[in-house]
Structure 1
């Protein structure tokens, strides 16, 4: 019975990796480990991680023998690396999201996120040594398979903050002017943008002076020194229907963002 319960982890972990990998590949905003490995952007790294997750997930579902065993060990390695990397990301950039499921992962890394990575690492480790494939479990499930898979899936779901973002996306009828946007998500998008890279060298503080909303734009002001004088760099981060537009920036002489308006267009 224990072996059957271990087999039940194969489809859960395999499908989880495939969903996570696909979400990273379609994401326009890198997060998680990509922010650590490539602080200036990381879309290529993000895509590489997503592709690797798709491959390993497919191995868990369909491969047996040596390829199947390799896929299971790779899954363990991926989740252990994710746990260590996310813990470091939480320490270095507490405002950044984990990027685990692409743009659905809008919340900052938390103890729940770390616990989920640990649970997935344990579930992956449990699959080492079982003979079935994930697809065989899915197509010929025993009652213990169903109970084991549902238990693991329920634990992962309870530890996942992505449900809130999923629910928000289902409410797309809400105008972007009225849609709630977490500040942590705005800062994460800002710090992976070209505008941030262009102006970061001028900034004199790590924390924003102010964050406020103007229609479908989230504005973030930072203290700066430009040409030897005090200034304020104001970034405009698009939200809602404008989210595909680039982040914009304006340099305002002086030490306050008063009078700044969102960019045209």
Structure 2
């Protein structure tokens, strides 16, 4: 257990550097999170960047010698803050994205909260370490399993492994041939999308029928090929399972990197 605990700062440090880099690279992500609601529109971006600075400082403290317990306790406090913020986002601003580590238009879901809790658990384990990660020996090998778990919980990485798997499945079976996890046929979801204000808002941008779909907790996501300002893009519709009203459906047009190009903010409820 001692070597396992000692190895945790290496993984935590790398994750925090990744998260910090994502915030520095695209500070506009702050507008898509719950920060504007929590701290105000004018302060959202500065707070977002301040969190990135804190993440980077804690990451460097964890990765570089010497090894102090205070670094791990700081990571625990940061992870607890992440968890609380994501729970707040899911409850108070359910359409807000995580803004954690990369470009993702998905609303905060259980995967993001589970990732924050996993980070909190690893940080808690790191507080029991008595040596630095560079002395962990074989304990570092366990980090591979933990890193895979973090990757599977990271919506920002879905385009690298999960979406290719889904596209491969679609090649083997037409999407209308099956149903998704909540037993709602895709054709029923398509009907709801076609009748929604969100669809009317982007209809002129669409260049295909449904080419991908997936369920994630309380939402079904349906994507169409699109073009925006002459660029190839993807229109992603978020269709709630529990709310059948057309106005509840949301849409975002994203580029190939997942950056949001267009998101209607006000959708009429009548045609």
Q: Given that residues 33 and 82 in structure 1 are in contact (C-alpha distance below 8 angstroms), is that contact kept between their aligned partners in structure 2?
A: no
Which runs of structure 2 are paired with 1:1-265 in the superposition (5 Å)? 2-27=1-26, 28-30=28-30, 31-32=32-33, 34-40=35-41, 42-64=44-66, 68-103=68-103, 105-134=104-133, 136-137=134-135, 142-147=137-142, 149-166=143-160, 209-211=197-199, 212-215=202-205, 216-217=227-228, 239-240=254-255
Per-residue deviation, 1:130: 1.8
- Determine the structure 2 residue equivalent to 1:198: none
Q: Distance in 1 between matches of 2:152 and 2:162?
A: 18
Q: Which runs of 5+ in 2 are unaligned?
A: 165-195, 206-226, 229-234, 238-250
Q: Distance in 2 between matches of 1:114 and 1:250?
A: 25
Q: TM-score by structure 2 length?
A: 0.60
What is the RMSD of the two structures over their aligned residues, measured on CA atoms?
3.7
Q: Given that residues 95 and 108 in structure 1 are in contact (C-alpha distance below 8 angstroms), is that contact kept between their aligned partners in structure 2?
A: yes
Per-residue deviation, 1:248: 9.8
Q: Given that residues 11 and 61 in structure 1 are in contact (C-alpha distance below 8 angstroms), is that contact kept between their aligned partners in structure 2?
A: yes
Q: Given that residues 63 and 133 in structure 1 are in contact (C-alpha distance below 8 angstroms), is that contact kept between their aligned partners in structure 2?
A: yes
Q: TM-score by structure 1 length?
A: 0.61
Q: 1:250 to 1:144 in 2, by over 3 A?
A: closer
Per-residue deviation, 1:56: 0.6
Cα deviation per residue 1:192-219 (whole Å; 9 max; x = unaligned)?
A: xxxxxxxxxxxxxxxx84342433447x
Q: Distance in 2 between matches of 1:151 and 1:246?
A: 35
- Determine the structure 2 residue equivalent to 1:223: none
Q: Distance in 1 between matches of 2:260 and 2:118?
A: 37
Q: Given that residues 79 and 117 in structure 1 are in contact (C-alpha distance below 8 angstroms), is that contact kept between their aligned partners in structure 2?
A: yes
Aligned length: 196
Q: Distance in 2 between matches of 1:38 and 1:19?
A: 24
